[in-house]
Structure 1
Amino acid sequence: MIENMKKMLFSIAMLVSLQAMAQQENLNNSVDPIDTLPPIDGYVMKSDVENRKVVPYANIRQTDIAFSKRVWREIDLREKFNQAFASPKSSLISILLEAIQEGKLRAYDPTPTKNDPNGDSFKTLLAPDQVMARFGGDSILVEEFNENNEVVGSSYQQRDFDPTQVVKFRIKEDWIFDKQRSVFEARIIGIAPLITPQIPGMSDFQAPNADENAAASPADPFDPFAVQAAETEGAESTAENANVPIAAIPAQPFAPQIDATPAFWIYFPEARHVLVNKEVMNRNSDATGLSYDDVFIKRMFSSYIVKQSNPEDLRIKDYISDDLERLFESERIKKSLMDYEQDLWSY
């Protein structure tokens, strides 16, 4: 009897302790000071995202692939639908760089080579310091001055990285139709942040003044309001220059356009183990429960296609110069992929 009472008291004590531990996960409502430091920032501790595991893809055999198409697309973070990727609380570029510095992710060199014209075959590794140097995150020399504005010393300090300079990401993915499962799906292979190279001297480029160009170039003979040389030089000058051909008006110089290029490539199947534990911030609700892995797997982003696999290995901008027509071509490629799936079935 006494033994049963001891077991019952022990069970009650364990139940009380478990309830106390469960309550500790929420904000303590008592007036007593909280023992754990620091206290929980809120009423509920968000631990579900941190403890999640990657849901593996279904296995695909090569003999079951009835159709495959490789596509490169870009995500513009300035679009309203993609602004969550640039949130200061949980930006995608900060997550990737932090994982690279901690050794959880490997970055690959995007430099094109003879055997890798696109530079996205994940062949050459980049060291973490090389990755940060591409974003201006390397060390800089800072001089120290005294009260007389004299240099008394210098030291190297780490330059802070600004996540806002990354406004685009490039994705390489394969669209696959698995005839064994009768599923047509996209599987992301790699992700690359895009940066604009800083070319020396480009910041000093200034467009020429329109007034100076007008003064240097001859007057347009087809402009009825332009002052012609014949009106100022007289009839004799007109007769002498009657047989002189009209000089062509030189084209106005313009600033060269520099395309954004990948800073590094991340192998997405490897990155999933990092992205699955990083929550995406939502504008409408803080309790989204969505991780970056969910966003990519469920295709919860807006993008446009910049290239599809083709025998000539051409990008869209290689054969279409107009920006608006490029968007139309991107939508045409999207529609062709969707039409392939629809054409598989008959109703």
Structure 2
Amino acid sequence: MTDVSEIPGWLATLTELLSTADGVADLDARFLQFGRDVVGAPSVALYSLKPHSLSVQGVATYGVSDFFLSRYEELGRDLDPVLARVLETKLAADNHELMNDEQWRASPLYRQVLHLHSFDYILQIPVLCAGDIAGIAIFAGTARWQGRAQLRSAASAIGRIVGAALTTQRRIDSAERHRDQVVRALDLVDEAVVVTDARTGQRHHNRQATTLLETLGVTHFDDLLAERPRQDGVTTVDLPVSESDRGQLRLSVHSVLADDDPTTTITMLRLHTHGRCDIPEVYSHLLSRRELDVATLVVDGLHDIDIAQRLSISQHTAKQYLKSVYRKLGVGSRVDLVRLVFLRALEDSGE
């Protein structure tokens, strides 16, 4: 009769180990630690499988040589009757359920691969995420390994615990990857954008916003957001930053509450001129007529879509002209262009 007294402790330890994993790679390492130090298995592996195709996405192992692993992937996987049973039924299985010891040692899998480590016993457990197989947990050892029966009794629970932990980690990894992609995209945006999360107290400035606020010396950004949003969730503030007889340099602060999360505010900052501040001759002669038109409208604070409508061109064409302006004047954003033009205007006016 199988002694199952240790199983609750095993499962509690596994849950504790995996619940504090920091990413999928750390989860793999913690599972191997469980198999080695808690269960005492001679060999442990955790395979990650791609959805639908079930091809191998990654593998973490303990207790096998690289040569063994390579040979299993090259020859053994297609010969493995235990794996075939697991993939077919989505249930844990071991070789004792499929054949006796003599048949096992005579099987192609054992003769070509498993004999390298004398694996007389192998248990494979499906790792399920939302009902689909996302991985395979494997424990293997020789005939002398004493913990086989207990492990087999705990197999289904182990699979569920690993599956729940893996599902959580994949969701976290996906969310973090999406966040990083959004952050990179924001840094490529031509506009200065600030995202404020009132629930967590976190705020993200894209590269353009960071440069703009540092240049203007704005240290208390919340002062710009002090005005309460209108009923439609939109706030617009326009304030002077610098002034000369040629006009004003102004900062427009346009904030919008996110539709699906009123605790998140998206703020767009834009420098623009008010009054007469033409593109100085030192820059205008470098530009074509149409590029000069686009640059002038940008300095006036117009969006790409507004520029396109004003000049009767497509928005894509307006963007291309603006990129050409940036390249010729050696600037990287609207903020840089407006500052360049206004500061030159101050110099020309003798201020």
| TM-score normalised by structure 1 residue count | 0.23
Higher relative contact order (CA 8 A, sep 6+): 1
Higher-strand-fraction structure = 2
Q: Which protein is richer in helix relative to its size? A: 2
